[in-house]
Amino acid sequence: MGESKPVESPPLGPGAPPRETAEVYGTPGTEDRFKDLADPMRDIPDDADVGAEGVFEDSHIAEVLDSLDDELIALAEVKARIGEIAALLMIDRLRRKIGLDADVPTLHMSFTGNPGTGKTTVAMKMGQILYKLGYVRKGHLVTATRDDLVGQYVGHTAPKTREVLKRAMGGVLFIDEAYHIYRVDNERDYGQETVEMLLQVMENQREDLVVIMAGYKDHMDRFFSDVPGLSSRIAHHIDFPDYSVDELMDIALLMAESQRYRLAPDAEKALMDYLELRMKQPRFANGRSVRNALDRFRMHQAIRLYKSAERGRKLTKKDLVTIEDADIRQSRVFKGGVYARDSDQERPDPS
């Protein structure tokens, strides 16, 4: 720790008097202090070009927003909110460039919605956006749940939470099912310690860490009302709706394409039928169920091809890339079967 320097300028943080007010109404003696404070508003003419195009281009922000649009089906509202946040950061950056200081905008967020609605995926994109706009140093995403943060014994919680926070610094800390951290009905729960540490970091280190809390909407609402000071630290609450069957279909086609598969013409109908049935079953998890279903269809295709090759049939490229109607129709879903395991409920994708 170096010696603390004498205060040269008045505080500019929250609660500080607006500069003009202080200049006009300031107590005698303050005028001199304010004179030294460089006020760029005074030196820069109002019609000065601030070089917006250059900053926009350097940040490649348009490309990131375009890729968000291309790689994610639907989510119009979510995309619009992210566009707004990007605009805020962009303008803030331009203001800083010419010396118009302001508080760092609070960027902590909550993503609410059912499993598989794209929360983790969008959080990853968010990390990239914040990085491109120079708001975080690294832009990586660290995913944590209660188990990563809260210890089982006295003295274990603080080091665990500190370790996760340390890893996340310079990027985004994504806390999945955040409400599990804190159990209001159990006052001996160690989660309280984690919550307190999070609140502190969210306030004091918000220029270097963005926290995104995710989970079911109703649970999250309860969590916010149970933990005072949490909701007010979160600037952006974004809702992720369930997908319609058409949207799920588009997600499936996009996923298939990105893995170099195509659907035979009658297989598209089978997929639509599959999705309509699967949506109504328990443990349906939107995009995640689509991904899992595709994995199973690939498996069925592989077995079909392997068997036919064994029988001496020559396999072609078309065989390798095509999912047939039969690969989908043999799913248990068409036989009134239900997925017994929790496989579609998940943990967040590690990748």
Q: Which residues bind ligand ADP (CB under 6 A)?
A: 72-75, 113, 115-121, 251, 254, 287-288, 291, 348-349
Phi, psi of 325 (to 5 degrees): -45, -45
Of 32, 51, 38, 166, nearest to 97 by C-alpha is: 51
Task: Based on the shown chain and the rule CB under 5 A, indicate whether residue 120 belongs to the binding site for Mg ion.
Answer: yes
CA distances from 224 to 169, 213, 229 (A): 24, 11, 8
Encoded one letter per residue, x for contact with Mg ion by CB under 5 A and - for no contact, window 55-74 reads: --------------------
Q: How far is the CB of 114 from ligand ADP (least distance, A)?
A: 7
User: How far is the C-alpha of 91 from the C-alpha of 6, rounded, in Å?
Assistant: 33
> 276 with 336: CB under 8 angstroms?
no
User: How far is the C-alpha of 178 from the C-alpha of 218, rounded, in Å?
Assistant: 12
Indicate which of Mg ion, ligand ADP, none lies near residue 349 (CB less than 5 to 8 Å, by partner kind). ligand ADP
Q: Looking only at residues 310 through 349 of this chain, which bind Mg ion when binding is defined by CB under 5 A?
A: 348
User: How far is the C-alpha of 212 from the C-alpha of 234, rounded, in Å?
Assistant: 9
User: How far is the C-alpha of 194 from the C-alpha of 150, rounded, in Å?
Assistant: 7
Q: How far is the CB of 143 from Mg ion (least distance, A)?
A: 8
Residue number, 117 or 161, with CB nearest to ligand ADP: 117
Q: What is the DSSP letter of 214?
A: E
Residue number, 115 or 191, with CB nearest to ligand ADP: 115
Residue number, 126 or 197, with CB nearest to ligand ADP: 126
Q: How far is the CB of 76 from ligand ADP (least distance, A)?
A: 10
Task: Based on the shown chain and the rule CB under 5 A, indicate whether residue 287 belongs to the binding site for Mg ion.
Answer: no
Task: Based on the shown chain and the rule CB under 5 A, indicate whether residue 215 belongs to the binding site for Mg ion.
Answer: no
* Site of interaction with Mg ion (CB under 5 A): 120, 348
